[in-house]
Structure 1
Amino acid sequence: MPAVTGEGFDPGARQRAAAEARATFARTGGRTEPQNLFETGGLRWRFPRSTSPCEAVLVNTGGGVAGGDSYRIALTLGEGAAVEATTTAAEKVYRSDGPPARIATTLRIEGGARLFWLPQETILFDGARLARALTIDIAADAELIAVETLVFGRLAMGEARIDATLSDSWRLRRAGRLVFADATRLDDAGASLDRPACGAGSRAVAVMVAAAPDVEGRLTDVRAALEGRSGDVEAGASAFDGLLVVRLISASPSRLREAVIPVILALSGRKPPRLWR
């Protein structure tokens, strides 16, 4: 077969994914159902169960995220809606020899609505470059539980000395006011996490944020859920200004997940999504 040629053709160029998934949910009687959906570029929505909360599962049919890819996700919950959102599996971020992969997520939660944002882990392969942003707008009386977990390296394959780059940003506004801002940057992630004052050899980290009018009263239950964890998971929880924040770090992704699950139960009274098990 002859080579493909032509003006403007770059034989070294790589195909980049530009994927987007948007969903709006509305309360109908005692149920929450999808109202408007949009999906393109390999992202798909699935709804295993439409009850309260409605289960929303995000599927990446491409099997992972490569350098230069752009993924945009948006969820909007109308008044009184209740949604539990997760992913079919851990998201994989592959090696990049150029621009970073970009994932931007926007969550909007209107009055009296409840969102459990519980994606499975994001795994950064050796050489991965990821720029990720999570933006949340929540009404004063709405409820949110959001969990994001990062795993550095395919540890089961011995990929522990991982050179990956991460830029991660959280912005949460309640009733239009910025109440939580968090930014993380890691260059040469493995070396950074090996430093005693940074990660002491950890390869998995999680951030959990809960927002609700009465959430500070759940701090005692959350700390009790974290007690008794083995020494391979370090965790801390604090509550302030209608927010509760939990941070966890471990050398073992499976141990970290085991520590996250009882915290989700303490915050929501619900077990994690079935896809987690």
Structure 2
Amino acid sequence: MFAPPVPAAHEPLLPAYVRAAGGVRLRFGLVGARTHRLDVGESGGYRARFPTTFDATSEAVLINTGGGMAGGDAMAVNIDLGAGADAIVTTQAAEKIYRSQGSDTRIKTQLSVAAGARLAWLPQETILFSGARLARHLAVDLAADARLIACETVFFGRGAMGETMLRGALRDRWRIRREGRLIFAEDVRLEGAIAETLTRSAIGAGAKAAATVVAAGSDLADKLEQVRALAADELQVEIGAGIVADLLVIRLLSPDAQALRRVLVTLLGQLTGRALPRTWST
């Protein structure tokens, strides 16, 4: 039976003061030969922690102390890398998007990477509960020779609990610019009976988990061959990849969320050339 979406409310069912709003602002720069955090801003229930690293890279772990987000909540992340900086930004755990009473959950991420800098934006998966409404926007500004690995993953329900996202809404917008010129633009919109929609062969072919990975930098042709070699040996996860403008764009789909995560860990390790942050294995 068709499950109608939770409609977006013209007026919020709960007053704004009971909804969570905040985010994290980070600025990194070179101090000598090492990357250091130069500016940290935290608001609402969002925090950043900085594990010790033993190379020139700086690592940041974003934390949502509320344990998840619901309809009407909003989060903003702003990450700025100065010239030559090298940073990895991840999250402490998966972000849970709970059922909405009508309003969207809003997440806005802005990444700026200056000349010669390298950023790995590697948040763990976003889990959409049935009835969730998520509006997410990722905007990236790259200098001419800036390097980037960016990954976003969505699980449609908690598979380990036997749950499925029967209905809800997802709007996911990506905008990537190189020296101010738009080089990648994408909008994904799923609304209504999402589980039913994902069974269609031209959309998800039964997928319950999806990921998009974008790489900007050098040796993209070599990285593409590595991805295709990984895809050739993988049976549980559908992987597609290609070079668009000067970006390597990779898609992953799977009916098994844990299988997708396993492949994603291998893939991101190959693309970044280093082990993933420890939060990915805890």
Q: TM exceeds 0.5? A: yes
Of residues 205, 209, 213, the one that matches 2:214 is 209
Q: Which amino acid aligns with 2:58?
A: C
Deviation at 1:216, TM superposition (A): 3.1
Q: Map of 1:107-146 to 2, 5 A cutoff?
A: 107-146=111-150
Of residues 172, 182, 186, the one that matches 1:182 is 186
Does the aligned pair in 2 maintain the 1:78–1:110 contact within 8 Å?
yes
Q: Which amino acid aligns with 1:105?
A: T
Match of 2:46 in 1: 43
Of residues 246, 250, 257, the one that matches 2:254 is 250
Q: Percent identity?
A: 49
Match of 1:98 in 2: 102
In the comparison of the two structures, how many residue pairs are matched?
267
Deviation at 1:239, TM superposition (A): 1.4
Compare CA radii of gyration and give the structure with the larger one.
1
Does the aligned pair in 2 maintain the 1:237–1:246 contact within 8 Å?
yes
Match of 2:205 in 1: 200
Q: Which amino acid aligns with 2:65?
A: T
Deviation at 1:269, TM superposition (A): 1.1
Corresponding position: 1:160 with 2:167: no
Does the aligned pair in 1 maintain the 2:238–2:253 contact within 8 Å?
yes
Runs of 5+ in structure 1 lacking a partner? 1-9
Runs of 5+ in structure 2 lacking a partner? 1-11
Counterparts of 1:134 and 1:52, CA distance in 2: 27
Does the aligned pair in 2 maintain the 1:140–1:213 contact within 8 Å?
no
* Per-residue deviation, residues 145-195 of structure 1 (Å, max 9, x unmatched): 001000011222221252121000000001111001111000132111122
Match of 2:37 in 1: 34
Counterparts of 1:149 and 1:25, CA distance in 2: 25
- Farther off after superposition, 160-169 or 215-224: 215-224
Q: Highest relative contact order (Cα 8 Å, sep 6+), 1 or 2?
A: 2
* Per-residue deviation, residues 38-68 of structure 1 (Å, max 9, x unmatched): 1010110100024422110000001001100
Partner of 2:268: helix, strand, or coil?
Answer: helix
Corresponding position: 1:171 with 2:175: yes
* Per-residue deviation, residues 177-227 of structure 1 (Å, max 9, x unmatched): 100111100013211112222112111000000001432332112211222
Deviation at 1:143, TM superposition (A): 0.4
Counterparts of 1:180 and 1:214, CA distance in 2: 19
Counterparts of 2:232 and 2:195, CA distance in 1: 28
Q: Which amino acid aligns with 2:67?
A: G
Counterparts of 2:67 and 2:245, CA distance in 1: 39
Give the TM-score taking structure 1 as reference length.
0.92
- Farther off after superposition, 182-191 or 98-107: 182-191
* Per-residue deviation, residues 112-140 of structure 1 (Å, max 9, x unmatched): 00000000000000100000000000111
Match of 2:19 in 1: 16
| RMSD (Å) for aligned C-alpha atoms | 1.6
Partner of 2:258: helix, strand, or coil?
Answer: helix
Match of 2:57 in 1: 53
* Per-residue deviation, residues 238-262 of structure 1 (Å, max 9, x unmatched): 0133210100000111100111122
Deviation at 1:11, TM superposition (A): 10
**For residues 209 and 255 of structure 1, do their structure 2 counterparts lie closer, same or farther at Cα, with a shift above 3 Å needed?**
same
- Farther off after superposition, 194-203 or 12-21: 12-21
- Farther off after superposition, 115-124 or 195-204: 195-204
Of residues 191, 196, 203, the one that matches 2:196 is 191
- Farther off after superposition, 210-219 or 148-157: 210-219
Of residues 114, 136, 150, the one that matches 2:154 is 150
